[in-house]
Amino acid sequence: MTIGIVGLGLMGGSFGLALKENMQGIRVVGFDHNEKHCSEALSLGLVDEIGDFETIKKCDVIILAIPVEGIIAALKSLEDVGPETTIIDLGSTKAKIVRECPPRIRQNFVAAHPMAGREKFGPAAAIPDLYRGQIVVLCDLEENALLHSDRAIEIFEALGMYIVYMKAAEHDRHAAYISHMPHAVSFALANSVMEQEDPKSILALAAGGFRDMSRIAKSSPQMWSDIFIQNADHVIEAIESFQTELQKAKEMVEQKDEEALKKWMQSANELHKIL
């Protein structure tokens, strides 16, 4: 089996490494518009070879590990692939991608979101176990031909992922609260501190809590701005919900209402009984 990966950054590069470590008898072909990414991916062993987009089209499986708008554009360019070519995207939003997939290849296209990542990006950030033990959400599989859904499930299981099935619209709302809004909060925290504090003070006082909260603010601006825009309605809803909770905290602090603050914090503690 030949697997082509479009996009050789953290997600695509890690996918290539994981495929090579966990699946026998495959060849991984990479493609990226960034020539530096191509040469790094090849030298780091993330892929077996670099090809052009026409080479990718001839692969048995095509993985789209690029920003959401790039995925939509790529799907339009893949409209002429054969009926046995499986296309899988790794995008963080799903509804718009599914909606804009050309009808001719809708049965080929498996909409997937691996809930995995790091704050670092680029080919050098790729690691072979990025996906192992993590969840992957597969959306609207009833629209896929069995060949392609089975192939996607086989690949994700080989990478050691746990599979969850959802509708695309349902996925996007959940992802806004669990993944997208926390990134917005981390970016906002980093910016608010940078605007108020000099670097020496940040370095002297930054402890575990601040480092944990601000860690994902190192994530790729290109990727995350794309995600926020594509899932705008749900991201706005999630941010407004977070703002409501912050306003509650502000009012309780202003009123010096210690008991209310304790109850509010205890309610938040319940989350980790789920996690």
User: Quick check: 110 pLDDT over 70?
Assistant: yes
Pick the CATH number of 171-274 from 3.40.350.10, 1.10.3660.10, 3.40.710.10, 1.10.3720.10: 1.10.3660.10
Domain covering 2-166 assigned CATH 3.40.50.720 in the classification = yes
3-state helix, strand, coil split of the chain in percent (to 5) is 60, 15, 30
- What was the pLDDT predicted at 275? 60
- What was the pLDDT predicted at 206? 66
CA angle 110, 169, 7 (to 5 degrees): 40
User: Quick check: 45 pLDDT over 90?
Assistant: yes
CA angle 93, 211, 223 (to 5 degrees): 25
- CA dist 69 and 110 (Å) reads 16
- CA dist 145 and 141 (Å) reads 8
Among the listed residues 63, 71, 21, 178, the one whose alpha carbon sits nearest the alpha carbon of residue 115? 178
- What was the pLDDT predicted at 146? 96
> Which residue is listed with tokens 């509650």?
248
Angle between helices 221-230 and 181-196 in degrees, nearest 10: 130
Phi-psi region of 117 (alpha: psi -120 to 50; beta: other; left: phi over 0): left
Both tokens assigned to 210: 């601040």
- Summarised one tens digit per residue, pLDDT across range 178-189 is 889 999 999 998
- DSSP symbols for 68-120: HHHHHHHHHHTTTS-TT-EEEE--S--HHHHHHS-GGGTTTEEEEEE----S-
Other beta carbons within 10 Å of 18: 25
DSSP SS3 for 193: helix
* Burial degree of 46 (CB within 10 A; 0-12, 13-18, 19+): buried
Q: What is the pTM of this model?
A: 0.82
- What was the pLDDT predicted at 205? 67
By residue count, the chain amounts to 275
Q: Are 97 and 68 within 8 A, CB to CB? A: yes
pLDDT > 70 in the chain, percent? 95
User: Quick check: 167 pLDDT over 90?
Assistant: yes
Among the listed residues 134, 140, 206, the one whose alpha carbon sits nearest the alpha carbon of residue 163? 134
- What was the pLDDT predicted at 173? 92
Q: Are 41 and 100 within 8 A, CB to CB? A: no
User: Quick check: 203 pLDDT over 70?
Assistant: no
Other beta carbons within 10 Å of 85: 21
- What was the pLDDT predicted at 207? 64
Q: Where are the domains of the chain?
A: 2-166, 171-274
- What was the pLDDT predicted at 200? 67
Across the strands, what pairs with 135?
A: 162
